[in-house]
Amino acid sequence: MIFQEGDYALIVLDGRKYLKRLVQGFSLSVKDKVIKLEDILGRKPGEMINQFYVLKPTLEDIILLGFERKTQIVYPKDSFYIAFKLGLSEDKKLLEFGVGSGASTAVFSRLCGEVFAYEVREDFYKLAKKNWERFNLCSNVNLQNIDFLQADVEENYFDAVFVDVKDPLPFLEKVWKVIKPGAVFTSLLPTTNQVSSLLRALEGPFCHVEVMEILHRHYKVNPDRLRPEDNMVAHTGYLVFARKRI
Amino acid sequence: MIFQEGDYALIVLDGRKYLKRLVQGFSLSVKDKVIKLEDILGRKPGEMINQFYVLKPTLEDIILLGFERKTQIVYPKDSFYIAFKLGLSEDKKLLEFGVGSGASTAVFSRLCGEVFAYEVREDFYKLAKKNWERFNLCSNVNLQNIDFLQADVEENYFDAVFVDVKDPLPFLEKVWKVIKPGAVFTSLLPTTNQVSSLLRALEGPFCHVEVMEILHRHYKVNPDRLRPEDNMVAHTGYLVFARKRI
Amino acid sequence: MIFQEGDYALIVLDGRKYLKRLVQGFSLSVKDKVIKLEDILGRKPGEMINQFYVLKPTLEDIILLGFERKTQIVYPKDSFYIAFKLGLSEDKKLLEFGVGSGASTAVFSRLCGEVFAYEVREDFYKLAKKNWERFNLCSNVNLQNIDFLQADVEENYFDAVFVDVKDPLPFLEKVWKVIKPGAVFTSLLPTTNQVSSLLRALEGPFCHVEVMEILHRHYKVNPDRLRPEDNMVAHTGYLVFARKRI
Amino acid sequence: MIFQEGDYALIVLDGRKYLKRLVQGFSLSVKDKVIKLEDILGRKPGEMINQFYVLKPTLEDIILLGFERKTQIVYPKDSFYIAFKLGLSEDKKLLEFGVGSGASTAVFSRLCGEVFAYEVREDFYKLAKKNWERFNLCSNVNLQNIDFLQADVEENYFDAVFVDVKDPLPFLEKVWKVIKPGAVFTSLLPTTNQVSSLLRALEGPFCHVEVMEILHRHYKVNPDRLRPEDNMVAHTGYLVFARKRI
């Protein structure tokens, strides 16, 4: 594989990362280093060009560096774990609402046969569509620009659900109806108050509830001075998992 | 879906989880509660039977509760993240060696077109095979019972590699050869000394190196007394990621 | 200094620690190793005797290993930090109530001129007294076996206060009265719900509020295989600090 | 107590903290708020003046906001814990070298009878002196501007030692000599490589070795939206404790 016009490239200099599309006129300057379209075209990933490394972006790079966002996204550290906890596979149907900029859907759709997604805000709906189209993602996602409460969905239809809205409570009754018995329910909530409220609402209609948070701690990569970075992300949200009880 | 003879069931009582196969004579006693084969057959997931909840296991349940192990496994908290960091998708070929009981392979194979796996110890080779067969996993995995250094593999062939051996250094030159330019290299190492050694060896042939650790913190699920569990897993291993430089 | 009859000794074998009083008939067996009174008398701290190390205990050893407890104690990881945050010094007067087994008082009294402590339960009152007397601690502490609400105390009298009761709210008005303007208020609460309630009550009469938790992560001490312990304490409580507003 | 000219005040606005001396011409502007000397003189701590809270600083405030520093200081989160782990009390003598800007000494001296401190760099020596004088701290500290290796000290003299230099190894033999049998040795090191080296050197002459790190996680203080801060300090250093073996 060689880099061609129109490709996206992950360009790295001294640990700083840039995700750029290789289009006419492309040029990136960092400090006193410059890299241009013609430097990259025809070169292979992993080559060092003018002190920059040029690589193919992974899904994480695309989400963190390439996705446009108007709101807090679900971070890969959380969505990568959630994707598997949802029990997704080729033959499963996932329900998701509160799609936002589409970052979590882009992850879940990789593991899942079909995703039915709902986003009530038109600006978010368009943004998610744009992000996915730009990076050729989510061909198995059916996204609708409506409130999930207005969605016409069968009962006992979905194998799993991911809810990413400020207050999941008004949606819980309908969610319960449309997912299969024993299906995995998941939500991500920033505050302890929201977690307490959701836990109260899950009692009864849901069982096997779990709450956790995921922390990633990065290290400086000097082999002779190995030590954690000075700072880290201390919080994104609390992950809540449960199963539909019948 | 209803439970039938031969199915695996995740059986939960007061937060304790058991993964059991529903075979003739099955019976589970916890404290003074009992559940038997005939109680479950024909019932749906999510039903409460004699105070137990009976559910379909997810991949995480299978790995943590169903896989037989002779050595430390790669925990889902790590492998779920690694799977996505490896940049896997339907059209990608993954190299993995040091398969152990097959826990990480079972995760990676979900996201990947084809996995080529090597395990030098015969007992581990058989164990991984047994674990996968029992749960109908890893049909896209080609596992060989040889040292990766003996493996006959093409150059520039793999899109990504996961190395889970005590000392990755003797394998690094061959790994570099058989993976594609820019391919993702990943390893998981328990000690800081091993991380330092690997970082030294990666300098030069690899670029864009990252080191991190992942911590999961679980909460008690009482909505009126929300608080973290008293204890947590403090360490499994350090994750090292890099890209093949050319 | 040499060990004499009646002394307390911290006895360490392979990382396991025992706090023992050197009295007639003393003998400690761990695995197949034995150490007796006559082995230790006349020896110096830091000597290895029958594979055991014998040391003088620090305050942390005394609290963790020597204090009898009927309830959760305030752990040194928290109390050592709180002691300094309270702004204690020789000329300061601390108010403390909810003394429990007396672990936190033993720490605070080290930094403070005088401590006025209240414990409503008689069994805890006697236990704290016993723990302090046994280890010759807290000579500057005035402990009373009454509810703080019954205590006869001057207004604007204390420089700082530490409240360790299940529900601090009913005490807050009196606490506010008896501490000096700008004095440091501190409490330790296990659940997020309690923290939310206390934060609500502090709004108005108190200012400069801080909430934090302290995590200690221990490492295995093998220099060639340096790595964190497998497990850690994930939670003791949330620390809440504030200042009296006037 | 009322604020007088020459006092130090901790001035807080919306969670931002400033440590200022109340001298002629003092004035602080934050956003569109202003507070001046004459606003504060004669007022009590805990008063809100022009939206600012004015308080007496604690030792932590003084160290974090008032101490001038030319190098990384020992943070209160670490030094508060170390102070107690050193087993300090009125009748104890502490040895400290690598004093830097004097932050850790200011903490230890609070708990200790006498501190003997050494700082080889003249600029640091002067800085520590200046920081202590400015805030009236460390009257029980004997600080010398010499390399500890040149210091004329008795054998078996100190009850505890804190070493804060890049490489403690060249000092270890002398340290061992001058501290008492069983005395507490402590060091703070930023990298895992340094910890491994120190652990190797401690084997033999020292016993009961412990390594740990301390993490503080702060919360936003909104009672209805309780959640951790987005970011936290992920690393300052590894704490190493040991006891002198004889």
d(CA C225, CA A17): 32
Nearest C-alpha of chain D: how many angstroms from C144? 26
The 10s digit of each residue's pLDDT in A16-43 is 999 999 999 999 999 899 999 999 999 9
pLDDT attached to residue C71: 86
Superfamily of domain C64-244: Vaccinia Virus protein VP39 (3.40.50.150)
d(CA A159, CA A180): 6
* Contacts for B15 with CB less than 8 Å, ≥ 6 apart: none
Displacement of CA D119 from its chain's centroid (Å): 15
Q: DSSP character for C74?
A: P
Nearest to A119 by CA among A154, A52, A182, A70: A70
Residue of C nearest to B225 (CA): C191
Q: DSSP character for B133?
A: H
pLDDT attached to residue C237: 98
Contact B161, B175 (CB under 8 A): yes
d(CA A41, CA A38): 5
The 10s digit of each residue's pLDDT in B85-132 is 999 999 999 999 999 999 999 999 999 999 999 999 999 999 999 999
pLDDT attached to residue A100: 96
Chains that touch C (3 or more CB pairs under 8 A): A, B, D
d(CA A47, CA A61): 18
Kindly give the residue spans of alpha helices, DSSP state H, lying in D46-115. 59-61, 76-85, 103-111
Displacement of CA C108 from its chain's centroid (Å): 8
* Contacts for C152 with CB less than 8 Å, ≥ 6 apart: none
* Contacts for A226 with CB less than 8 Å, ≥ 6 apart: A219, A220, B192, B195, B196, B199, B211, D191, D192, D193
Nearest to B56 by CA among B4, B15, B9, B6: B9
Q: Does position A115 have pLDDT exceeding 90, yes or no?
A: yes
> What b/e readout covers B61-70, taking b as 16+ CB neighbours within 10 angstroms?
bbbbebbeee
Nearest C-alpha of chain D: how many angstroms from A195? 10
Nearest to A137 by CA among A87, A69, A67: A67
d(CA D32, CA C183): 28
pLDDT attached to residue D195: 98
The 10s digit of each residue's pLDDT in A204-231 is 999 999 999 999 999 999 999 999 999 9
d(CA A246, CA A95): 19
Q: At what angle do helices C76-85 and D76-85 cross, to 10 degrees?
A: 110
Q: Is B143 helix (H, G, I), strand (E, B) or coil?
A: strand
Q: What band does A14 get if pLDDT is binned at 50, 70 and 90? A: confident
Q: Does position A15 have pLDDT exceeding 90, yes or no?
A: no
Nearest C-alpha of chain D: how many angstroms from A79? 18
The 10s digit of each residue's pLDDT in C142-172 is 999 999 999 999 999 999 999 999 999 999 9
Q: Does position C226 have pLDDT exceeding 90, yes or no?
A: yes
Nearest to A95 by CA among A34, A167, A183, A31: A183
Contact D8, D57 (CB under 8 A): yes
Angle (CA) B32-B38-B39 rounded to 5° is: 50
The 10s digit of each residue's pLDDT in D125-168 is 999 999 999 999 999 999 999 999 999 999 999 999 999 999 99
* Contacts for A200 with CB less than 8 Å, ≥ 6 apart: B223
Nearest to C204 by CA among C162, C170, C145, C244: C244
What CATH number does domain B8-57 carry, 3.30.1220.10, 3.10.330.20, 3.20.20.100, 3.30.479.30? 3.10.330.20
Tokens 């360790």 locate to C164
Contact A57, A66 (CB under 8 A): yes
Radius of gyration of chain A measured on its C-alpha atoms: 20
d(CA C218, CA C200): 35
d(CA D199, CA C146): 50
Set of chain A residues whose Cβ sits within 8 Å of the Cβ of B12? 207-208
d(CA B160, CA B168): 15
Tokens 């509660």 locate to B33
Tokens 């959380």 locate to A78
Q: Does position C236 have pLDDT exceeding 90, yes or no?
A: yes
Segments of C132-194 assigned E as strands: 141-144, 158-163, 179-189
Over range D58-83, report the average pLDDT: 96
Q: Does position C31 have pLDDT exceeding 90, yes or no?
A: no
Nearest C-alpha of chain C: how many angstroms from B190? 7
Q: Does position D37 have pLDDT exceeding 90, yes or no?
A: yes
pLDDT attached to residue A88: 94
The neighbouring-strand residues paired with C243 are C184, C207
Q: What band does D14 get if pLDDT is binned at 50, 70 and 90? A: confident
The 10s digit of each residue's pLDDT in C102-128 is 999 999 999 999 999 999 999 999 999
d(CA A168, CA A238): 14
Instruction: Provide the CATH number for the domain formed by A65-244 in this structure.
Output: 3.40.50.150
**How many contacts, defined by CB atoms under 8 Å, are there between A and B?**
187
Q: Does position B181 have pLDDT exceeding 90, yes or no?
A: yes
Over range D179-183, report the average pLDDT: 98
pLDDT attached to residue D31: 87
Cβ–Cβ gap B229/C230 under 8 Å: no
What's at C35, amino acid-wise?
A: I
d(CA D89, CA C110): 7
Q: DSSP character for D148?
A: G
Residue of B nearest to C227 (CA): B191
Extract the tokens encoding B55.
């559910």
Residue of A nearest to D217 (CA): A234
Mean pLDDT taken over chain D:
96
Over range A105-117, report the average pLDDT: 97
Of C192, C225, C235, C239, which to mutate for an interface test with B (greatest number of B Cβ within 10 Å)?
C235
* Contacts for D87 with CB less than 8 Å, ≥ 6 apart: C56, C58, C59, D159, D160, D184
Residue C19 phi, psi dihedral angles, 5° rounding:
-105, 115
Q: What band does B179 get if pLDDT is binned at 50, 70 and 90? A: very high
Contact B243, B87 (CB under 8 A): no
Residue of C nearest to D12 (CA): C208
Residues of chain A with a CB closer than 8 angstroms to some CB in chain C: 192-193, 195-196
d(CA B1, CA A156): 10
Nearest to C46 among D45, D211, D243 (CB): D243
Q: Does position B62 have pLDDT exceeding 90, yes or no?
A: yes
* Contacts for C130 with CB less than 8 Å, ≥ 6 apart: C68
Q: What is the pTM of this model?
A: 0.96
Q: Does position D6 have pLDDT exceeding 90, yes or no?
A: yes
Question: What are the domain boundaries of chain C?
Answer: 8-57, 64-244
Nearest to D65 by CA among D108, D12, D139, D110: D12
pLDDT attached to residue C168: 98
Nearest to B232 among C193, C218, C232 (CB): C232
pLDDT attached to residue C23: 96
Q: What band does A82 get if pLDDT is binned at 50, 70 and 90? A: very high
Q: What is the predicted ipTM?
A: 0.96
Set of chain D residues whose Cβ sits within 8 Å of the Cβ of A229? 234-235
Contact D186, D85 (CB under 8 A): yes
Of B75, B79, B199, B221, which to mutate for an interface test with A (greatest number of A Cβ within 10 Å)?
B221
pLDDT attached to residue A131: 98
d(CA D88, CA D79): 12
Kindly give the residue spans of alpha helices, DSSP state H, lying in chain C. 37-40, 59-61, 76-85, 103-111, 122-134, 172-178, 192-202
Cβ–Cβ gap C234/B235 under 8 Å: no
pLDDT attached to residue B154: 96
The neighbouring-strand residues paired with C187 are C163, C240
